[in-house]
Structure 1
């Protein structure tokens, strides 16, 4: 068995038993990263990775056991990493090297992870496909390398699915962990608001959060255990009682709502419908109460305008903070389009957009108040071909990723699980949304579905090469 075939949990166990070394693991993955560069998974490879692995081996030899000691890890290129280039997916920041880690990266380093590099992302995370002017290749799904692995955590998903990392750090502002997980037959978890701190960033409307990308529910829970430690002063910070990884047994029956309506006026894709129906059947067999309900709220014109304004404002704020005026021309056309929208917004426009989105999210929460979990497709169809997003990108992205943003706006936990690989070899995912701060329950349900063989462990061709 090759080293990358071991799960993260198995690798950690082998490291502690001194059956393998961190250096062996790191060399194995670095070799695979170099050979699979065309997949577009990485922006930057850490030149100090082998030194980090050597230090991890020294600590392992002394009997030190931080939770991730010696485990190779990739960090999404939207998170600051001290001493390692952080581009935010932008040519305007191609040479930026942060002086210090973001809060979550610091937690992962303190836990002993060996940072192999920065995984690919879209410019400032603004699109649900991962293509930029930093890397020569977009991030593609290893199952079909002519198709995007979604975004903005596309590089993280590509890397884990292709066996370039055992597990990866990712982030999600409207589906950016979950849709890449779906395109790459992976588990992708967006935690509840406040469980993983956005520090040093701060905002009253927090839609984005960091979370794990993994092959198994256990691996996702192991990474989340480390990430779930709020920074001092975090407005929404909270701590889980106990370990997620040690609480993956679900001992009670859940009431589950489902819908497949896209809310955009577009028909649901047949494979997206299939993903939900087959999952509902498994849930019923497991004893859960599954009920189909109407979609609580639609993507009408006002909601669409509000979310576009909110994204434009966020990108505008980051750009003003990070990008010197003389480097603005280096930004991609869609980013400049968002900046142009931001320039037209008044403070009243921004506050009004936030209020409208809050009401939109509240409509969902009210409609499912007597349910424990919601079941939907993750995406409305398979991974899309490279070059698909032309013309009205916002409209095309929304029609494909319509099922995920409400969970961000509501601040509730959500997870994408593999469903199936269709006859064309394309992966499809299923989306489960839980109650606020009941992340442990959602992970336990995901583990139950994994144990019931909801999906097969089908690897892409590059896995075996």
Structure 2
């Protein structure tokens, strides 16, 4: 087997590895070649590890020849650069940590390696995951969507999404604290999954009982996403929120879902920001498909707006998170290397009192409660992922650091509520507009009902496949 190996899904690549139609070395060399050729323009990788990848591929080939098998054995993959991999440069998107090599894997990196994944590198992220665009001073270039190299691949998992969309990886590990898996998936015409709280454990410092971040897959198909989620969905025994699903997600996506009751809205929920017409088109198109498939779809008013108190509370939460990360990871003498927005959040976090932080979390709990109450009689919510297409480079910083938070929320306000409720959410491709820019939709399910949500997503994919749409670099 040769040629466009990246055209195969991750599931198909694993089948070819198992039957011997392709070797892990051949597959890994194919992806390393594409990274070398294309990533200079995409900014998908912070670190590429060709020697390690080829060594791991050789080991995978030996295991396969002995008849051994594990879920990702021999499959090239990448780890988001917010998550340590033992001995591999892990920068957290920060020039202050440009040469940091952790001594141990994060929990999820360990799961990926135990499953036999071949690590080809660390995908680019925003500094400490603080922004919904991926630009940092480690690589010196932003991660861009392969559909338009002048526009961001969103963030903070922008590198992961750019890599999968351009055929530099078959699938990728990502993380989502307020939409950071789903918005990159939407800008790159991909599937992005934020699992229910506790399904995937994080071991990245600093951890917090109020953390909203959870790791998950970015992939081209729902089946591929389910494959990776099955590997990640093994919480560590000390996780107070940890739980395990009944059965595998890979099996769930092959079954038709039960009839679902679905709430739908298109309001971005941010001040007087108007609904973007292509976003409305995406949601209405998907709502129509769901009705044709026999589901009950009902338009409702957005349960809660991202108003001034919520915006302030979100900014307080992220200032506290960034402050904790910087304090625990960055030596004082290197904090001058932080990007301006990170320094701004650090200063806000430094001035925060415990009372102010608790007050912010109380506002966000009430915000989440409004969604829980309004959706109590529904199985799923269908909403936008973003309020518009991928945005041009420099868009979020045009008003200076004090305006970045609100500019980001005006574009990405549809996503954070799913993090605060702990519900599972999946971003699915919808369509490309007349300029060839991607749009996505978001499905949000009941807590710990991830399998049913993925089954619904897979049913949508079968009814209106999106995997035949690729950026121009796909055939390079």
**TM-score scaled by length of structure 2:** 0.97
- Map of 1:235 onto structure 2: 240
Q: Distance in 2 between matches of 1:89 and 1:214?
A: 22
Q: Distance in 2 between matches of 1:262 and 1:51?
A: 47
- Map of 1:338 onto structure 2: 345
Structure 1 residue 425 corresponds to structure 2 residue 459 = no
Which of residues 36, 39, 44 is equivalent to 2:42?
A: 39
Q: Write out aligned runs for 1:39-438 (5 A).
A: 39-46=42-49, 47-201=51-205, 202-248=207-253, 249-264=255-270, 265-390=272-397, 391=399, 392-438=403-449
Q: Distance in 1 between matches of 2:317 and 2:256?
A: 37
Residues 251 and 301 from structure 1, CA distance in 2 versus in 1: closer, same or farther, beyond 3 angstroms?
closer
2:145 is paired with a residue of what secondary structure?
Answer: coil
After superposition, the C-alpha distances for 1:392-414 in whole angstroms (9 at most, x for unaligned) are: 11111000001000000110000
2:249 is paired with a residue of what secondary structure?
Answer: coil
1:417 is paired with a residue of what secondary structure?
Answer: strand
After superposition, the C-alpha distances for 1:395-453 in whole angstroms (9 at most, x for unaligned) are: 11000001000000110000000000011000000000000000000000000000001
Task: Report the aligned-residue RMSD.
Answer: 0.9
CA contact (8 A) 2:268 2:387 kept: yes
CA contact (8 A) 1:419 1:454 kept: no
Q: Distance in 1 between matches of 2:68 and 2:466?
A: 36
CA contact (8 A) 2:221 2:467 kept: no
> How many residue pairs get matched?
465
Q: Distance in 1 between matches of 2:322 and 2:350?
A: 11
Unpaired runs of 5+ residues, structure 1, are none
CA contact (8 A) 1:258 1:293 kept: yes
Deviation at 1:251, TM superposition (A): 3.7
After superposition, the C-alpha distances for 1:156-187 in whole angstroms (9 at most, x for unaligned) are: 00000000000000000000000000000000
Structure 1 residue 12 corresponds to structure 2 residue 14 = yes
After superposition, the C-alpha distances for 1:126-175 in whole angstroms (9 at most, x for unaligned) are: 00000000113210000001000000000000000000000000000000
Q: Distance in 1 between matches of 2:404 and 2:256?
A: 41
1:272 is paired with a residue of what secondary structure?
Answer: helix
CA contact (8 A) 1:193 1:206 kept: no
Q: Distance in 1 between matches of 2:247 and 2:58?
A: 31
1:290 is paired with a residue of what secondary structure?
Answer: strand
After superposition, the C-alpha distances for 1:314-367 in whole angstroms (9 at most, x for unaligned) are: 000000000000111100000001011112210111111111111111110110
- Map of 1:29 onto structure 2: 31
Q: Distance in 1 between matches of 2:261 and 2:285?
A: 17
1:342 is paired with a residue of what secondary structure?
Answer: helix
Q: Distance in 1 between matches of 2:467 and 2:166?
A: 16
Q: Distance in 1 between matches of 2:101 and 2:364?
A: 35
**TM-score scaled by length of structure 1:** 0.99
Deviation at 1:206, TM superposition (A): 2.7
CA contact (8 A) 1:373 1:434 kept: yes
CA contact (8 A) 2:220 2:467 kept: no
Deviation at 1:457, TM superposition (A): 2.2
CA contact (8 A) 2:268 2:384 kept: no
Q: Distance in 2 between matches of 1:144 and 1:68?
A: 31
Deviation at 1:203, TM superposition (A): 2.0
1:141 is paired with a residue of what secondary structure?
Answer: coil
Deviation at 1:222, TM superposition (A): 0.2
Q: Distance in 2 between matches of 1:211 and 1:439?
A: 12
Q: Distance in 2 between matches of 1:21 and 1:13?
A: 11
Deviation at 1:200, TM superposition (A): 4.8
